[in-house]
Structure 1
Amino acid sequence: MFDSGVGGLSVLRALLAELPGTRFVYLADSAFAPYGERDAAEVSQRTHRVASYLRKAHAIDALVLACNTATAIAIDSLRKDHPDLPIVGVEPALKPAVGLSQSGCIGVLATRGTLESPRFSVLRKRLMSQVTGPLRFLCQSCDGLAAAIERNDDSAIQTLCERYTLALRDAAGPDLDAVVLGCTHYPFAMSALTRLLGSSVTLVDTAVPVARRTREVLGLMPAAPGTSVPPPVLLATRDPQALEQAASRWLGLLTTARLVHP
């Protein structure tokens, strides 16, 4: 599995709970983070290059794109190039949010790359056509937030969360009752977002559904309680110590990360 940086650790956390006993290789393409603020051609190139590296160097049985932007831009072409490899992507949890919302007024916090992708547009339009009641998706690009989470910059995270949640509130008025976290980095700003949006707004991310889908794709049954968990292999294309620290802080993993150059 890979992400542009440490955000995909939110998905790894769910995968470790869903598939104990499974060997995971996590690559943070931190030399190019965040993907959401790069152009589509570069994101596609990096996605294909990293996927090929993981296949050749680690003999993976499946690939999880733990990045909304990489999924939105490159998953279709990746599946075409690797038809024998099960590939699971992540995308903003719009459909679960529709089921949770009482008002039909749903905010979406995501990167510019995700929101501007054709795949996101198709997803939104499909849901709009399927729902008979009132439904609004208020989309807010969050420039800089993923990068601030990469740096573990609490001050910047707070400032940016304030800016973007205020923009959502101004656009939605009092009806906002669900907000989709459309980037795998954003669950690591959950505490700030919860304080700013309040308990009446449900925050929706995709980590648990992605983990369940991965188990289904692999045809694995949940492991028995107490199954030993081999430590994930952690790889980074820049500053592996930052990945180690993030894995320790958010997942409680004490694993050495290694620098690689796919």
Structure 2
Amino acid sequence: MVDSGIGGLTVVKESLEKLPNEQIIYIGDTARMPYGPRTPEEVIAFTKQMADFLIATKDIKLLVIACNTATASALIPLQEMLPIPVIGVINSGASRAVQATHNQKIGIIATEGTIASQIYTHKIRALNQQIEVFSQAEPDFVKLVEDNQYRLPVAQHQVKAHLQSLKQANIDTLILGCTHFPLLRPFIVEAFGELDVTLIDAGAVTVDTVDDYLKAHDLSAQKRTRPHHTYYTTGDVQQFDRIASQWLDNQAPLDVRHLKITQNHLEEA
């Protein structure tokens, strides 16, 4: 599983609950995040480096791109280049949102890169052309989470202020189009107040897609002793460990390791 930083840990948490027999190897490219302002070419290159490391050293059977920005830019190229199945977080989120909406008004909050790609809008309209889509880039939300401020009053105030336009649009479904955003769920719910808005966690929904794929292709891990999970970061190991342990509510120490960025590949430090 690869992500631009620590946001993908929300997908890891869902995977630990729904896929308890599967071993998870996670890479968070914290040294080069955020991916939102980067060019598609950069995002593809960085995501490919992470995938190459996992395939070459860990013999993984399936790759999950647990980042909406990376999915938007790199999913199709990696599906064409890699010898293993690759699943992203956008198709599942768009499909679930279309199923959930009643008034045909769907909001999307994501990074600049994901919004600029218009991939969610295209996926939604392909399923139902009558749906109105309201997209909004929220790079500040990513920063709140990455800075571990997502439970503080500053986050509460920013979320409420930023979501006023979507509230006024009278959406009834909101796609959390960045894996960081589920951490802000309490403040997002509060921001919509009396409106009954269904929140779609694209990352969490994707875990169901992964489960279905593994079962359909007879790739599901058999029940065994508790699998050992490994977490890699290209940034500060201690900071990643601290935030990951908090997010995952993990009591036992996590196996967190550092990946060194070389000229065009990653290697374990």
Q: TM-score, normalised by structure 1?
A: 0.88
Partner of 1:243 in structure 2?
Answer: 240
Question: Which residue does 2:263 correspond to in 1?
Answer: none
Take 2:189 and 2:3, find their aligned partners in 1: how far apart are those partners? 24
| Residue 136 (structure 1) aligns with | 132
Mapping of residues 29-40 of structure 1, within 5 Å: 29-40=29-40
Amino acid at match of 1:51: A
Kindly tell me the number of residue pairs found equivalent between the two proteins: 252
Match of 1:151 among 147, 155, 158: 147
Give the Cα separation in 2 of the matches to 1:126 and 1:251.
35
**SS of alignment partner, residue 71 of structure 1:** helix
In structure 2, distance between residues paired with 1:201 and 1:122? 22
The structure-2 alpha-carbon separation of the partners of 1:246 and 1:223, relative to structure 1 and needing over 3 Å to count, comes to farther
Give the Cα separation in 1 of the matches to 2:227 and 2:98: 37
**Does residue 216 of the first structure (1) align with residue 215 of the second (2)?**
no
Superposed CA offset, 1:93-118 (max 9, x none): 23222222221122111111111115
Q: Distance in 2 between matches of 1:235 and 1:136?
A: 39
Mapped partners of 1:39, 1:163: distance in 2: 28
User: Equivalences for 1:246-261 in 2 at 5 Å?
Assistant: 246-253=243-250, 254-261=253-260
Q: Which moved more, 1:194-203 or 1:101-110?
A: 194-203
In structure 1, the residue corresponding to 2:51 is in which secondary structure? Answer: helix
User: What's the counterpart of residue 14 of structure 1?
Assistant: 14
Does 1:86 pair with 2:85?
yes
CA distance in 1, matches of 2:28, 2:36: 14
Query: What SS is found at the alignment partner of 1:23?
Result: coil
Aligned ranges 1:34-113 → 2 under 5 Å: 34-82=34-82, 84-91=83-90, 93-113=93-113
| 1:178 aligns to 2:173 (yes or no) | yes
3-state SS in 1 of match to 2:182: helix
Question: What is residue 201 of structure 1 aligned with on the other side?
Answer: 197
Deviations 1:26-46 (A, max 9, x none): 110001111112221211110
Q: Distance in 2 between matches of 1:120 and 1:99?
A: 14
Q: Which moved more, 1:99-108 or 1:183-192?
A: 99-108
Aligned-pair identity (%) = 31
| Contact 1:111-1:141 at 8 Å conserved across structures | yes
Partner amino acid for 2:28?
A: A
| Displacement after TM superposition at 1:25 (Å) | 0.5
**Unpaired runs of at least 5, structure 1:** none
- Verify the 8 A CA contact 2:22 2:220 in the aligned structure 1: no
2:183 corresponds, among 181, 188, 212, to 188
1:186 CA drift (Å)? 0.5
Please state how far the C-alpha of 1:221 moved relative to its aligned partner: 5.2
- Given the two structures, how large is their TM-score scaled by the length of structure 2? 0.86
Distance 1:32 1:113, change over 3 A: same
2:115 equivalent in structure 1: 115
After TM superposition, the runs of 4+ consecutive aligned structure 1 residues lying more than 3 A away are 118-121, 220-224
Superimposed CA distance per residue, residues 216-242 of structure 1 (whole angstroms, 9 cap, x where no aligned partner) = 323345866xx6432310110001222
**Where does residue 127 of structure 2 map in the other structure?**
127
Deviation per CA, 1:9-59, whole angstroms, max 9, x where unpaired?
A: 111111112211211101100011111122212111101111111111222
Structure-2 change in CA distance of 1:228 and 1:198 (3 Å): farther
CA contact (8 A) 2:22 2:221 kept: no
8 Å contact 1:73–1:119 — kept in the other structure? Answer: no
Kept after mapping to 1: 8 A contact 2:98/2:124: no
